[in-house]
Amino acid sequence: MKQSRREFLLTSAAGLGGVAVQAQSTKRVLIRSAGEPSFKRRLAERELERGLVQLRLPMEVRLAGADTKPGAGEVLIALRLDPERFKNPEAYSISALGGRALVSAASEQALLYAVFDFLERQGAFFGIDGESYPVEPSALVLPMSDQPWTASPRFAVRGLLPWPDFLNCISVYNREDFRAYFEAMLRMRFNTFGMHAYAQANQWAESYLSFEFAGVGHLAFLDNTASHRWGYLPQRTSTFAMGAGQLYDGDVFGSDATRLARDPWEAARNTRQMLRDAFAYAARLGIRTGIGFEPYQIPDEILRALPPEAKPEKAAERRGPRFDIESVAARKLLETRLAQLLEAYPEVDHVWLWEDEGMNWESRKSGLPLSVTPFLQAHDFLRRHAPNKRMVVSGWGGVARNFEDFHKRLPGDIVFSCLSDSLGWDPIHEVFGKLEERERWPIPWLEDDPGMWLPQFHVNRFHRDLDRAAGFGCQGLLGIHWRHRIVDPTAGFQARFSWDPKLTPEDYYRAYARSQAPADRARKLAEVLADNDKNRKILCTFTGEIKDGHAATREFSGDYNEAFTFWGDYEPKPEVMESQKQVAAALRALAGAATTPREKERIEYLARHVEFLVPYSQAWTLAHRLQLVLKAAGEARKAGKNEEARNKVREEGLPLWMQLAPEVRRAMLHFQSIVSTRNDLGTLASMNNKFVRLALVRLRLSMAEYLGDVPAETEKLAAQVTQPDMAAAPRLVVPTRPTMLGKGEQVRLQIIVAGGGEVAKVTLYTRPRGAAQWAATAAALAGRRTYQAQLGPFREEAALVDYYVAAEFRDPSAARLVAPFDAANQPYMLTML
């Protein structure tokens, strides 16, 4: 039976242990401000005001003075520090009586967390990509008078460990992207950011921690579309298929820190300055940061410069480090790298040292031991030069096999941390329960890199892992990820379950869905997502089998390789191909029933990701079978049966490719139609480089080796499937949406006009919250259909600033585009720091 809006609000409030405030009798919500608030106290007040405004409550919201008392038709929310009341410095309580609500916290940081918890209980969702507020106006929900909302974190260390190597992650970030990332972390009540940087052989070195030693430097990269590692081949974005090139401002997509640099040293300087500023910003928001490297691995250039005495014979054949880790040169090298790290990032709280990735997989097979010498040397160096920094020993899942031994041999103040084995499908290692009082932070996978293009929902897995970590007495937990918006359903659960041990996956999905859709569709959306997650109904890396004590996995889009590796010996399971069609159909029905552009965009984002899997799985299957034809043809040609080989490709291979090509187009257009973030732009670039190129170009070249030239109809189809989608609706995309700005600061806003005719102008509109008039600023063309404008600086007295963007076309009949969709009622909003 259909539930009324009023019934839904009251039911939701009851489920939160609260009561909905009736709008008919309440006209105003007052947030009582302290007389001389500190930075974080002021931020808490303004973030509360900002959130309540974005909920579109049917009542006025404003800050009030320290002596304000609520009058008739008013609710007063007071923020107070009460450190003596709480044992945990991040704990807080929210209580209510009559027309008053009291938010009491142990510290200023806890006060911020209380504000975000309060907003979540009103229906807000905070994720890595930012915030989502209910698509329908909300009622204010307060705790019952005898049931205050109290919270204390399950883990002292809660956070994220984004992996920087592909085009879809922080490798392509600019200053504004890092700012938005840390703003999102704060609202998720995360307090720790960790980061691994490669500095390996074969040009795996990243410019975050590039260094010089023995008189030389080395090449270092942050990947962009001109890169030639991690399976990428240099490719101009203007050559991307199906009109995708219009989403980029130039032929190279990536971080400005590297794509605009003239040499490796300038790239390193730019990168370090950008990340150093980001770490300083994180510290201002109360987020601890860490970065580190693998001491066993060094770039080829540095290896060549080492003295021969530090390079054992046949080092290339060794399964461990290629240099003598116990040598004097190794110690000097390690200290040089640590000194460079501390100089580059003085704000950093944690210095991470990682087990070599290759040694991890080797040790899983052979039990290769790991020397503790670098860890002891690093600990001693930090004790002497940076005693306020914490050292973290970490690695892939295999390093956990060394932890019991390390625990006996390493100082007790070193933190132990590692990724979960088998891409997170294995549970958190039991050794975490055997380390006594040592601090330890397991790292489960929000997503895994062999399934990088696939939507991944792992709430049930995280429910298991967080409970297991808490049971082992772990003091911290971080989630590894690359992308952000599509992993938000899992990241949001990690954030909330790190505080609330009673939260179930089903209840969480209901809360998440309420932030994406109205009551009726929210209920159905929650059911679809929870069922899909629990029963693994869509393509994923886990086969469902356990081999040698570990979860067995298969790669279906490993972005560290060619990704579309159809030449493997497996295909998607028929039952999964069928069940994911059902999930896609259910999400499509929900998207089709959406009644507002905002709701439609949110559900479309989920639906199109799952819909992508249907033709992608079919494309994989067809390409795999075509590969088998090519393999058989190759064997026939090797046996001298050239005509047989040619006939096999012509009669069996060509028909398969003719079926494959339209599936590639369908898959790509599903994803391309919902690209909305900078991470999505990176994913789209990767798909063009590793999916479209392999399926539509390389396979045709393979067939041509047997046929001389492929038939004209094949070339005609290739041209057709790579054409832009003329039916695609024009869109206005703002990949990064800043949400905080300090006094005198500016931050760049990038705007993409996707589709439509010739653009006449793009405009940024801003106004202090409550002002009647919008200030208009023309956005400048950055390249192709990408524009940019500067947000700020704004008047000092402004607490909140609204903004939105608009695009107009030369054709007077073309509709004006605005972002966000409902800019008049719910624009983007800045909290002024």
Angle at 41 between CA 37 and CA 43, to 5 degrees: 115
Q: pLDDT tens digit string along 631-654?
A: 999 999 999 999 999 999 999 999
Position 349 pLDDT exceeds 60: yes
Three-state helix/strand/coil letters over 127-142:
ECCEEECCCCCCCCEE
Report the pLDDT value the prediction gives residue 321, as an integer from 0 to 100.
81
Asked if residues 511 and 119 have their Cβ atoms less than 8 Å apart, the reply is no
Q: pLDDT tens digit string along 91-139?
A: 999 999 988 999 999 999 999 999 999 999 999 999 999 999 998 888 8
User: How distant, in Å, are the alpha carbons of 438, 483, 539 from that of 684?
Assistant: 43, 12, 19
Q: Residue 719: count other Cβ atoms within 10 Å of its Cβ.
A: 9
Q: Which amino acid would we find at residue 290? A: G
Q: pLDDT category, 796, cuts 50, 70, 90?
A: confident
Least Cα distance to 242 among 757, 722, 785, 729 occurs for: 722
Mean pLDDT for 810-814 is 94
Report the pLDDT value the prediction gives residue 95, as an integer from 0 to 100.
97
Provide CB contacts within 8 A for 158, sequence distance 6+.
Answer: 189, 190, 191, 192, 476, 477, 478, 495, 498
Report the pLDDT value the prediction gives residue 315, as an integer from 0 to 100.
52
Mean pLDDT for 352-377 is 80
CA distance 489 to 129: 11
Q: Which domains does the chain have, with CATH numbers?
A: 5-151 (3.30.379.10), 157-419 (3.20.20), 562-721 (no CATH), 731-832 (2.60.40.10)
Considering the chain, what is the average pLDDT of its residues?
A: 94
Asked if residues 142 and 101 have their Cβ atoms less than 8 Å apart, the reply is yes
Report the pLDDT value the prediction gives residue 17, as an integer from 0 to 100.
63
Position 6 pLDDT exceeds 50: no
Q: pLDDT category, 563, cuts 50, 70, 90?
A: very high
- Give pTM, 2 decimals: 0.96
SS3 125: strand
Mean pLDDT for 72-91 is 95
Position 9 pLDDT exceeds 60: no
Q: pLDDT category, 144, cuts 50, 70, 90?
A: very high
Report the pLDDT value the prediction gives residue 221, as an integer from 0 to 100.
86
CA distance 155 to 809: 52
Q: pLDDT tens digit string along 456-498?
A: 999 999 999 999 999 999 999 999 999 999 999 999 999 999 9
Q: pLDDT category, 366, cuts 50, 70, 90?
A: low
Higher pLDDT, 285 or 73: 285
Report the pLDDT value the prediction gives residue 543, as an integer from 0 to 100.
96
